[in-house]
């Protein structure tokens, strides 16, 4: 019986950490650079300074016509019958973000206003260019100063101009303002002035908030099962609810209505969490209705179970993959989407975000090593081919992002001033959809070829490339099927509906919806397929005739 080999001497923790830092120095450097790029971009995307934000402040100018520090004093400019209002060299505009007014540097199409004189001596300000569904946006005062689609006769659009003199006194203008006038916007019905204070200041007038609550009692339950709606519930409930968040936290609200239908909500019981729409009115009264069942705890539980399964099965690699997933989500939601809404070009920005995600994810998984570098290059090249094929396909089919099913709200947003590029959204979706599959294939081919090279270091470029292609061909069938099924699954409800209509072939297959879905699935699949020979070639070139290092 052989004597048992002595256990290797365990190194001190500090030395192990130093060795790890030396081993992973390039990976750590890459992550630090990426973090610098990410946070630098986030700083550039910060919203306007608080002095440019607009809200409403309570003020009774009839009782105290005196200028205060929080009032926004505007300089009037008139040209060709349209008015603009400036403050500190910036122009009052609307439309870039939903229902928000703000000051913007330079000239803006949404900085011109028409002044409508009302019979009661008040005026209404309507934007010359900004509109929703053909209805001009007007300056309105409900919970704060905002821009809404104008409704004729609504008192919340009726305001007064109060002129400011050199001593800081205010006097109501009985005429239209003229060039050079310094004025304050005032809503007499709300006793509120336009304020330059941050938007989180106290609200005035009528407004609504979304908060969390818990059902204490179901006082009335008039819901029933509708067999025609596949067993869904219809009707309404009357509830007593305790508010758990916001300014009314701890308050019990009675007669809270909950409207139930097949497409909007489900019945609730005592103890259930609900999301509330709490409406506060100028007379101090408060009313609430149920917006939806509170699904946040269930969603958190689902995500935590996913994390647990990934960590238990994947071990350290699983934890690293979760970090990569976090990078992906943060990049998409805190970097890519804000940049697109700021008007950055859709395709270059999306491709740049995809490259960023691929590089950081591979670095987190395997550090900066030959295997991960090959996978990075293959993934980036495959994504670029998906982009190029998507552009070619949409040109041949004469469709683009404007024909996507859910693009209409973004079109309205663009018409009110948000400079998001819509035509590139179809191919941008292809890039994002293809990225996961391309990264999977690239890493699989690169990792397999490194093992092949380690087993037979004498293999040349051609032999390694041939091995990579043989490995990759086995992936093509399943991965392509995966991508196509993912796209079909996303639109499965609509597919069932269209099939039920019994449409004629030319009616169905010439529709933009079929073209968009086909281009999305096929372009992503082409990028994934082409990443195989590209990764195999790069790996073969880097691995050939290179003696593999001893495994650690």
Q: pLDDT per position in the chain (552 positions), as tens?
A: 555 555 555 556 555 555 555 555 555 556 666 666 666 666 666 544 334 557 778 888 888 888 887 788 899 998 888 899 988 778 888 874 446 678 877 667 788 999 999 988 899 999 888 887 678 888 888 767 788 888 887 888 899 999 988 777 899 998 889 888 999 999 888 888 888 754 444 455 567 888 999 999 999 999 999 998 888 999 999 999 999 998 888 999 999 999 998 888 889 999 999 999 998 876 678 889 999 999 999 999 999 999 999 999 988 888 888 888 888 988 898 889 988 988 889 999 999 999 999 988 888 887 778 888 899 999 999 999 999 999 999 999 999 998 888 888 888 777 666 788 999 999 999 999 889 889 989 999 999 998 888 888 888 889 999 999 988 888 887 777 777 777 777 778 877 888 888 888 888 788 888 888 889 889 988 998 999 999 999 999 888 866 544 443
- DSSP per-residue string spanning 463-484: HHHHHHHHHHHHHHHHHHHHHH
Indicate the burial class of 39 (C-beta count within 10 angstroms; 0-12, 13-18, 19 or more): exposed
The pLDDT assigned to 49 comes to 39
Find all residues with CB under 8 Å of 339, minimum gap 6, and list them: 41, 45, 349
The pLDDT assigned to 521 comes to 86
Q: What angle do CA 495, 497, 501 make, to 5 degrees?
A: 115
Percent of the chain with pLDDT over 90: 31
CB atoms within 10 A of CB 295: 11
SS3 130: strand
DSSP H/E element including 351: helix 346-366
The CATH 2.40.50 portion of the chain extends over: 207-294
The pLDDT assigned to 307 comes to 92
CATH no. for 207-294: 2.40.50
Instruction: Spell out a b/e string for 486-510, using b for 16 or more CB atoms within 10 Å of the CB, else e.
Output: ebeeebeeeeeebeeeeeeeeeeee
- pLDDT tens, position by position, 411-464: 877 766 678 899 999 999 999 988 988 998 999 999 999 888 888 888 888 999
Q: What are the CA-CA distances from residue 61 to residues 139, 186, 193, 259 (Å)?
A: 19, 8, 9, 42
The pLDDT assigned to 236 comes to 92
The pLDDT assigned to 235 comes to 92
Instruction: Write down the pTM of the prediction.
Output: 0.67
CATH architecture entry for 52-195: Trefoil (2.80)
The pLDDT assigned to 98 comes to 47
The CATH 2.80.10.50 portion of the chain extends over: 52-195
């Amino acid at each position: 019986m052989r004597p048992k080999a002595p256990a290797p001497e365990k190194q001190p923790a500090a030395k192990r950490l130093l060795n790890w830092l030396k081993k992973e120095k390039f990976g750590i450097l890459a992550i630090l650079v990426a973090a610098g790029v990410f946070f630098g971009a986030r700083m550039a995307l910060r919203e306007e300074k608080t002095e440019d934000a607009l809200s409403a402040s309570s003020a009774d100018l009839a009782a105290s016509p005196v200028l205060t520090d929080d009032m926004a004093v505007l300089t009037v400019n008139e040209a060709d019958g349209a008015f603009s209002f400036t403050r500190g060299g910036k122009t009052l505009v609307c439309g870039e973000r939903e229902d928000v007014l703000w000051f913007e540097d330079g000239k803006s199409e949404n900085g011109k206003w028409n002044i409508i004189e009302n019979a009661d001596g008040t005026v209404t300000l309507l934007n010359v260019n900004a509109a929703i569904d053909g209805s001009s946006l007007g300056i309105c005062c409900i919970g704060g100063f905002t821009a809404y689609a104008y409704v004729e006769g609504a008192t919340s659009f009726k305001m007064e101009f109060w002129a400011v003199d050199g001593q800081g006194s205010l006097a109501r203008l009985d005429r239209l303002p003229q060039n050079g006038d310094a004025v304050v916007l005032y809503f007499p019905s709300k006793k509120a002035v336009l304020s330059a204070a941050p938007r989180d200041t106290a609200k005035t007038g009528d407004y609504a908030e979304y908060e969390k609550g818990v059902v204490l009692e179901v006082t009335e339950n008039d819901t029933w099962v509708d067999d025609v709606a596949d067993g869904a519930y219809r009707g309404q409930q009357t509830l007593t609810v305790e508010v758990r968040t916001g300014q009314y936290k701890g308050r019990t609200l009675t007669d809270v209505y909950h409207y139930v239908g097949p497409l909007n909500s489900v019945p609730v019981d005592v103890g259930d969490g609900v999301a509330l729409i709490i409406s506060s009115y100028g007379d101090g009264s408060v009313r609430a209705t149920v917006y939806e069942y509170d699904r946040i705890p269930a969603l958190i539980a689902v995500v935590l179970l996913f994390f647990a399964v990934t960590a238990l099965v994947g071990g350290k690699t699983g934890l690293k993959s979760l970090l990569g997933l976090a990078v992906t989500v943060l990049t998409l939601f805190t970097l890519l989407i804000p940049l697109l809404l700021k008007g950055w070009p859709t395709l270059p920005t999306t491709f740049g975000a995809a490259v960023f995600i691929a590089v950081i994810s591979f670095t987190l998984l395997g550090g900066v090593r030959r295997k991960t570098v090959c996978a990075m290059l293959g993934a980036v090249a495959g994504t670029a081919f998906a982009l190029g094929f998507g552009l070619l396909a949409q040109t041949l089919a004469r469709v683009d992002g404007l024909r996507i099913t859910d693009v209409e709200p973004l079109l309205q947003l663009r018409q009110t001033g948000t400079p998001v590029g819509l035509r590139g959204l179809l191919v941008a979706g292809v890039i994002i959809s293809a990225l996961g599959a391309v990264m999977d294939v690239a890493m699989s081919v690169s990792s397999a070829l490194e093992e092949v090279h380690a087993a037979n270091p004498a293999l040349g470029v051609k032999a390694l490339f041939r091995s990579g292609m043989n490995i990759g061909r086995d992936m093509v069938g399943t991965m392509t099927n995966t991508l196509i099924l993912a796209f079909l699954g996303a639109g499965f409800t609509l597919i069932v509906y269209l099939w039920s209509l019994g449409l004629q072939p030319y009616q169905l297959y010439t529709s933009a919806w079929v073209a968009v879905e086909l281009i999305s699935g096929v372009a992503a699949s082409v990028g994934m397929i082409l990443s195989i020979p590209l990764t195999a070639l790069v790996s073969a070139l880097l691995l050939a005739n290179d003696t593999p290092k001893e495994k650690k």
